[in-house]
Structure 1
Amino acid sequence: MPTKQRKAPKRTNPLLRAPIRIGALDAPAVIGELRDIHEKAEDLDIGAMPADDEVYGALLYAEAHVGALKETSEAVRRSAAIKRVQLWEYLREQAEIHQVKAIEAARAAKAEWTQLAPALAVSGKSGAYQKAKRLKALTLVDESLNGRVLRRTPEAVLAAEGRIAAREAEERRAKKAAQRRHEALMPVAQHLIDHRDGLPDAGNVADWLDEVAAVLPHCETPTQMVSLSTYVGAAVRELRKTESRQSRPIATTDGARLAYAAAAGLFPS
């Protein structure tokens, strides 16, 4: 029976299994542990070891002075070596992230891919472009992947960038729409407060209008904007309930009638 060949995954598909990464690490603390190991081993040159926050230089020192640990136990030497492995992996991950930022800065400054090729250690503009996109895969956070990792191909990165740009555009549109609604609501809410004497205070109308009056003078944050909309909407609902229970007009003045009509128009039943 012929063996069924596995299809290669699409270059835009995410990886199903996330690679293990060092991620966040208190690198100076690990360097401090390495320093402690060398001090206890009576490393005669320990005074020349760079500071704990100079991770690269401290690692080069530890590598060059590994002989100072020859009289320590195998467990101590093993621990020191593993710490160095961990720190080099951490630096590699950080280097990729910062290299992406440098590439983006160069492109923003109108650098051509041919100019970036030597710096990226590739032979031409195509290689520079593809390497840059592969590196970019490390920094993109695509919520649509549900925790899966983006495939490190130019096609996958471009697809992810498109999805992220579309979401960001939608968020901007939603934010602008919310701002427009808020700008329309502010004068309506103010008119309700200005003419509340001409409105009934039956049921919870007065309570909701009190809430509107409290938040209206300092309505700036998104939470306050949502609260104002909630309070005005609740006041309108209570006014409608009162209106349905009586046969005469609910507002007793022209100003109150206009204010109620404007609020009701923003919150259709």
Structure 2
Amino acid sequence: MARLIRKSAAPTRPLLKVPVRLGAVDTAALIAELRQLHEDAEDENVGRMPADEELYQALLYLEAHSGALKSEEARRKAAITRVKLWEYLREQADVRQGKAIEDARAAKVEWTALAESLAVNTASAAYNKAKRLRATTLMDPERGDRPVRRTPEAVLVAERRAAAKAAAERRMQEEAARHHALLAPVAQRLIEHRAGLDDDDEVTFWLDQVAAVLPDCETPIQIVSLGRYVEAVVRELRRSERESARPAARTNEARLAYAAATAVLSRGGKAP
């Protein structure tokens, strides 16, 4: 019988795994719990322990005085909590170092000049390490908003996706702004000449909504709402015309306002 040969794991496999992170941790509360363990153990030096907010210094104290804990349960709990807090510090260090690198690059610092500070020997190694650190601040929507893998290639893909998404959002906002610039004066004309429009209850209701949002229409939600309200006005005017077999506008000014609203909505891809 042939002997099965087990394939060795690829050396890059650890870098391809999606990282699991602690995220937010109430470090002061955990340090306070560890302080209480030392007080309960009558640690004679606990008065010299740094404040709960001084995480790094407090951890150094707890490490140096771990022998002061007398019970095995207390030592076990303290050690596990210290492991968690050091992991939290590591995560925070990655994020903060990544931000420092971004600031350095914004100040036109070359990768060669960053190599020594990043404990590497070449500009390319500095670049790759920076990209791996960048993964700590990125989420990949293609993977359910999980953290990006810590490889330069994965970070580049995530950055391209983020840039494409941001560009698409900017285009949508610019298009919405252009459409709003055309829609707002049309909405104003509808309100000014509403007396000449059909006074059907639904028409009146939607005109009231337009009148309410139009004066302070600035936020994205307000802009979208205004478009929907004007669209509803035009839709109800069309319905009224079909049901009554008579024009929905009774004056020339109202007819022009109605026609202008219909035209703007049609150009905006929302024909009534």
Quick check: 1:203–1:238 contact (8 Å CA) kept in 2?
A: no
1: CA distance between counterparts of 2:7 and 2:193? 77
Work out whether 1:67 is the aligned partner of 2:67: yes
Q: Which has the higher contact order (CA 8 A, sep 6+)?
A: 1
Q: Distance in 2 between matches of 1:10 and 1:46?
A: 45
1:253 aligns with 251
Evaluate the alpha carbon distance shift between residue 3 and residue 181 of structure 1 in structure 2; reply closer, same or farther with a 3 A threshold.
farther
Q: Over aligned residue pairs, what C-alpha RMSD do you find?
A: 2.4
1:10 and 1:37 map into 2 onto residues whose CA distance is: 42
| Percentage of pairs with the same residue | 59
Match of 1:47 in 2: 47
Residue equivalent to 1:131: 129
Structure 1 residue 142: deviation in Å?
2.2
Indicate the residue corresponding to 2:27 in structure 1: 27
1:164-207 superposed Cα distances (whole Å, 9 cap, x missing partner)? 10000000110111111112111001000111111121352122
Higher mean displacement: 138-147 or 95-104: 138-147
Alignment CA distance shift 1:54-1:10 (3 Å): closer
5+ residue gaps, structure 1, are none
TM superposition shift of 1:20: 2.8
TM-score normalised by length of structure 2 = 0.89
Pairs aligned (count): 264
Classify the secondary structure of the residue corresponding to 1:218: coil
Contact (CA 8 Å) 2:138, 2:147: kept in 1 or not?
A: no
Change (3 A) 1:6 1:201: farther
Does 2:100 match 1:102? yes
Amino acid at match of 2:76: R
Whether the aligned pair in 1 keeps the contact of 2:193 and 2:253 (CA below 8 Å) is yes
Question: Any unmatched runs of 5+ in structure 2?
Answer: 266-270
**1:40 and 1:203 mapped to 2: Cα distance?**
74
Query: Compared with structure 1, are the counterparts of its residues 148 and 247 closer, same or farther at alpha carbon in structure 2 (3 Å cutoff)?
Result: closer
Q: 1:147 to 1:251 in 2, by over 3 A?
A: closer
The residue number in structure 1 matching 2:205 is 207
Deviation at 1:80, TM superposition (A): 1.2
CA distance, structure 2, for counterparts of residue 228 and residue 52 of structure 1: 52
Q: How does 1:1-269 map to 2 (within 5 A)?
A: 15=16, 18-69=18-69, 72-246=70-244, 248-267=246-265, 268-269=271-272
- Residue pair 1:203, 1:242 contacting (<8 A) in 2 also: no
The structure 1 segments of at least 4 consecutive aligned residues displaced by more than 3 Å after TM superposition are: 1-11, 245-250
Q: Which amino acid aligns with 2:135?
A: A
Q: Are the structure 2 counterparts of residues 84 and 97 from structure 1 closer, same or farther at C-alpha, using a change threshold of 3 Å?
A: same
Residue pair 2:190, 2:258 contacting (<8 A) in 1 also:
yes
- Cα deviation for residue 247 of structure 1 reads 5.2
Q: Is the 8 A contact 1:27 1:53 kept in 2?
A: yes
2:268 corresponds in structure 1 to none
